[in-house]
Amino acid sequence: MRKRTKITFIITGISIGIIIGLVVAARFDFYHPIGALDSAYDISGTSFEHSVEAVARVVGPAVVSISTERTEKIAAPRMRRYSFGGGPFEDEFFSKFFEDFFGELPEREYKQSGLGSGVLIDKQGYILTNEHVVGDADKITVTLSDAREFKAEVKGKDKRSDLAVIKIQGDNFPAAKLGDSDALSIGQWVVAIGNPFGFALHNPEPTVTSGVVSALHRSLGRMISGERDYGDLIQTDAAINPGNSGGPLVNLKGEVVGINVAIFSTSGGYQGIGFAVPVNSAKRIVAKLIEGKKIVYGWLGVIVQGLDEKLANYFGLTEKKGVLVAKVLADSPAQKSGVKEGDLLLRFDNLEINNVNALLKIVGNIEAGRKVRLELIRDKKPITLDVEIGARPDNLEELGESVLEEEPSNSWRGLRVTEITPELAKRFRVSKEEGVLVVEVRPESEADQAGLIQGDVILEINKRGIESIAAYRNIIKEISGDVLVRTARGFFVLKESSAKEQ
């Protein structure tokens, strides 16, 4: 009896051990390791694989495919453009004769199609997407993951943020939850969902890719973004391919944290870098987009530049924090408040300004008409100013520089410059006739090391205005040591030459 009891006890102990082992294995997921991920990502003890599956299952039905169609009318070219090898048929008289006899050729219509993605943000059929996906469309068709098709209308769009809201008729649609993009951290896992190549795959179900947040607050620059403000983007290595634009970037909680907007590659295909607009940018304006209201951004009216080590040393700063005012626009809020070129902006509305993008984001999010305080340094002394933020004007023109070679002056610290005449100003698209134009920068010279380039317009040296070549020559004769040069692009510090100019 005692022997049977002992055997029963041993068997019971082994069984309990097996059960405990299975529970522990399931709890810590030994078969599907999740590496360094912790509870901050709210995966509730499941594996990374199961988390991505759950995100796809929950958010996928809210992701839609958007196909667009735009009809463009193009006038037929004039008859003389079809002449053979020049000759009399290019003459205006003969062109007029053919047009009178045959009549004007009719306009031809060309239909352009596009494809993108979007995400349903409520059950009434409102869809958040990119402005560039639907902005110029005459016809918009939305396909849900269950293959249902709907005609959609644009409720509101904003080119600057590259966001738009469209609507389909109906109710009780699956909708995704908007998260908090400010809570993102570099290295966090995210999932990109969209419909790349949907027109070729003939499959309405969205594509799911995963990756990490590679970087935050990225800027694509105006060369790529044009009129759009791609200055505060989420960068991810989750694959984003053509057609993904407008689809959601989702965290492992199943919350939308970004709207996929662009890929950066040499071929137009996926090469490891994708970008998304932070969802908090969308949350600030989505209600106005639904109502069809124009999105108004705050405006200070300055052109600013970041600090390099030389500029920081010149202003006696231990850190490269703040931005330098390179230009104050006429009749702008900045000019009315007393901001001057050469001021160093350190804090804005009690927020620290670490770089140019930080200032642009802060100003853009402030409502027009609100008064804020600026903390800055002028002539190496701290001052404060109060400014009333204005509304950003439409179609702000960008200043451009050009290169020319017209009777350059003698070289100074590696620079050769020329006077700007009205003809040259028009020819090279220089907006003002003041200043002098840089036509040559000697390699490895002080000017080259400072960052000046051919085509820069020099406006000031050590805060003394340059109105002509004569003024420029007089100033450079009198100064020595390190000098602060203001150009149309911003400020530069030119070190004192270690050898005489030849």
What distance in Å separates the CA atoms of residue 415 and residue 458, rounded to the nearest whole number?
11
Q: Indicate the Cα dihedral angle 53, 54, 58, 61, nearest 10°.
A: 10
DSSP E strand boundaries for 37-145: 63-74, 108-120, 126-129, 139-143
CA distances from 393 to 98, 226, 329, 338, 388 (A): 47, 16, 12, 20, 15
Residues 37, 71 contacting (CB under 8 angstroms) = no
CB burial of 90-101 (b: ≥16 within 10 Å; e: otherwise) equals beeeebeeeeee
Positions annotated as catalytic residues are 132, 162, 245
CA distances from 88 to 76, 92, 97, 446 (A): 21, 9, 12, 59
- Tokens 């030994």, located at residue: 30
What distance in Å separates the CA atoms of residue 127 and residue 122, rounded to the nearest whole number?
8
What distance in Å separates the CA atoms of residue 115 and residue 472, rounded to the nearest whole number?
55
Pairing relation of β-strands 177-178 and 255-263? parallel
The strand pairing partners of 324, in sequence order, are 305, 344
What is residue 293's DSSP assignment? P
CA proximity to 370, closest of 354, 341, 391: 391
What distance in Å separates the CA atoms of residue 119 and residue 127, rounded to the nearest whole number?
5
One-letter amino acid at 276 equals: A
Query: Residue 190 burial by CB count (10 A; 0-12/13-18/19+): exposed, middle or buried?
Result: buried
One-letter amino acid at 71 equals: T
